[in-house]
Amino acid sequence: MSRLIPSLETFAKGSFATAAGLSTVGFGLLYYGQNYLIYPSAFPPGSRTDVPVPTDFGLSYEDLNLHTPDGIILRSYLLRQRKELDHHQAGRVETNESQTDEEFAATRPTILMFHGNGGNHGHRIPLAKVFYIKMRCNVLMLSYRGYGHSDGSPSEKGLKLDAQTALDYITNDSSLSKTPIILYGQSIGGAVAIDLASRNPSKIRALILENTFTSLPALIPNALPLLSPFSFLCHQKWESALKIPLIPRSTPMLLLSGVRDEVVPREHMQALWEVVGRRQGIKASEADGNDEVKGDGQVGEGRSKFVEFENGTHNDTCVQEGYWTTIAEFVASLGDSASISRL
């Protein structure tokens, strides 16, 4: 037995050392490798090479190569409005015979799209098509760094630079600079939109946010439950709940939430709406007669609204009944452009 005890002691010390070593490696992988979990730009397979283009969907477009301050090229798409669209579903708008296409584009809203963390911007062309064809908006589809054919690797700092670069392009364009700019963000794209609006309070007319979160560390227990004890290691913060109060009260927001979202619990969108309500004196419990609308309030010329879709999950809320009608009515309520036909 006396010979056995030193062996057990040695084994115990060795096991402790091994566990400590594995924990250190685990912590290191979590800390330094989390970008691969948060920004899976290669998923689904082929997303870094197979990027649909608008002409695949019958849309003319401009290939837009945006150059960021840190030397990254973002290969994005711009759908610029024209007086006459060769599409039978094109929304009807008032035009002036003497207007050029560029002058007409300057009278329409501009949508700056921020997509979710999977796939690429080409996968969202059907969404851009609704904005472009039905609502007659200009649309800039940003391709984040490390996504699609864009250079670089994604990170919170990098995506913030990308968003600012896209906004700077719009505000320096001869026609787009005259348009009301509306940010549309899905999932992590909503966090990108909130951050951009908080840093450019005078340049953003409105925000449309779908299935986004209060912060990434707060999301980890649901998205990655096995890693919840280590959420303190998350250095990609995206603190949206802290950024909303920095956005002017006069900037309307439309929050769209899928009740059955399996990635971002509906409580995150509800919490963000509470923050919006505190910012501008809206009672989050108020409703306006629509069973899906859980909060509503008058904000300047537009309305901030929170709308839930009972059957919406993380990736299909955008195809739920009433989704695009809600967005079209919100855009029309901003009062900055000519009327559009109802969807």
- Is 190 found in the same domain as 327? yes
- Kindly state whether residues 31 and 103 are assigned to the same domain: no
CATH (domain of 272): 3.40.50.1820
Pairing of strands 138-141, 73-79: antiparallel
Q: Assess whether 14 and 150 both reside in one domain.
A: no
Distance CA 314, CA 298 (A): 28
Residue 261 annotated in active site: yes
Query: Does 59 share its domain with 8?
Result: no
pLDDT of residue 88: 78
Do 15 and 57 fall into the same domain? no
Looking at the structure, do residues 141 and 264 belong to the same domain, yes or no?
Answer: yes
- 67 with 95, same domain? yes
Q: How many CA atoms lie within 13 A of 187 on its CB side?
A: 19
**What pLDDT is stored for residue 280 in this prediction?**
64
Q: What share of the chain is helix, strand, coil (3-state, %, to 5)?
A: 40, 15, 45
| Distance of alpha carbon 72 from alpha carbon 102, whole angstroms | 28
* Judgement on whether residues 131 and 161 belong to the same structural domain of the protein: yes
Q: Which domain holds residue 131?
A: 41-333
Residues 156 and 207 in one domain: yes
| CA gap 15, 161 in Å, rounded | 46
Same domain, 11 and 152: no
Q: How far apart are CA 53 and CA 38, in angstroms?
A: 25
pLDDT at 337: 58
Query: Length of the chain in residues, anyone?
Result: 343
Contact present, 77 and 121 (Cβ < 8 Å): yes
Residues 313/306, Cβ–Cβ less than 8 Å: no
Amino acid 132 reads Y
pLDDT of 256-285, one tens digit each?
A: 999 999 999 999 999 999 999 987 666 555
Residues 6+ apart with CB under 8 A from 201: 246, 247, 248, 251
Can you give the pTM of this predicted structure?
Answer: 0.86
Residue 27 belongs to some domain of the structure: yes
The residue from 195, 261, 296, 336 that is catalytic is 261
**Structural domain contains residue 54:** yes
Q: Which residue in the list 76, 155, 187, 304 is annotated as catalytic? A: 187
Residue 343, in any domain of the structure: no
CA dist., res. 232 & res. 323, Å (int): 36
| Alpha carbons within 13 A on the beta-carbon side of 67 | 1
78 in the same domain as 191: yes
Q: In this structure, is residue 127 part of a structural domain?
A: yes
Q: Dihedral sign, CA of 303, 250, 201, 244?
A: negative
What is the spatial distance between Cα 247 and Cα 231, in angstroms, rounded to a whole number? Answer: 27
In a domain, 339, yes or no: no
* 340 in a structural domain: no
DSSP letter at 306 equals: E
Residues of the chain scoring pLDDT < 70: 1-32, 224, 226-230, 280-302, 336-343
Number of domains in the chain: 2
Q: Which residues contact 342 (CB under 8 A, 6 or more apart)?
A: 325, 328
Catalytic residue among 314, 316, 333, 341: 314
Give the whole-angstrom CA distance, residue 284 versus residue 70.
Answer: 41
Beta strands in the chain (DSSP E): 62-67, 73-79, 110-114, 138-141, 181-186, 206-210, 253-258, 293-299, 302-309
Whether 6 maps to a domain, the answer reads yes
pLDDT at site 235: 87
Mean pLDDT, all residues of the chain:
85
Could you tell me if residue 153 is inside a domain? yes
Q: Are residues 325 and 252 in the same domain?
A: yes
